[in-house]
Amino acid sequence: MKKKSEAEKDKGKGKEIKLKDMIFEKKELRVPLVLPESKEDFEIFWKTKPIADSRYYEIENLYASGMNLFKFLEPQGWIDFFKMNNSVYPDVVRSFYYNAIVHPDKNLIISFVKGLELQLTPEAISHCLKIHCEGNMLYGSSWYDALQIKKDELILDFLLKE
């Protein structure tokens, strides 16, 4: 058996470089809210759409001024939801809706924001907002009819104290 020379043993091997000795240049990759090919359409049609600010409701003050929301919100566990106060990022919200694909048969909205896929379902919303997701699942403008409720009577019911 022939012994390998020192040169042959080291062939193809360079000096071992340890990770701790390496210097990395940190590069931040910025993912756009909207794909470059869609940017012009977004800027023209979506950038100008108004987005509501986050609102904090003092339900007690509303009650004192004649609006009884307690009887609707408390049984559903929504009191804490109406007392939330969070930041809203309008361009991110617009991007979400611009990229949204709606699947009404599955109660699902899928969108992409900054490269992340977001799947919005009633269960996901209830989990994030810490509210119940049970009972009637009615969406859209016809839910009044489905529950045989008159919209005007419901609004009056909000305004009457018990």
CB 85 within 8 A of CB 140: no
pLDDT confidence tier of residue 14, bands split at 50, 70 and 90? low
Say what the pTM is.
0.58
Calpha distance 35→115 (Å, rounded): 9
Record the tokens describing residue 66, joined without a space.
């004649």
pLDDT tier at 13 (50, 70, 90 boundaries)?
low
CB 94 within 8 A of CB 88: no
Return the percent helix, strand and coil in the chain, to nearest 5: 40, 10, 50
118 against 152, higher pLDDT: 118
pLDDT(119) > 90: yes
Q: Which residue has the tokens 């910025």?
A: 30
Rounded-to-integer distance, Cα 134 and Cα 93, Å:
26
Order of strands, edge to edge, in the sheet holding 116-120? 101-103, 108-113, 116-120
What is the SS3 assignment for 117? strand
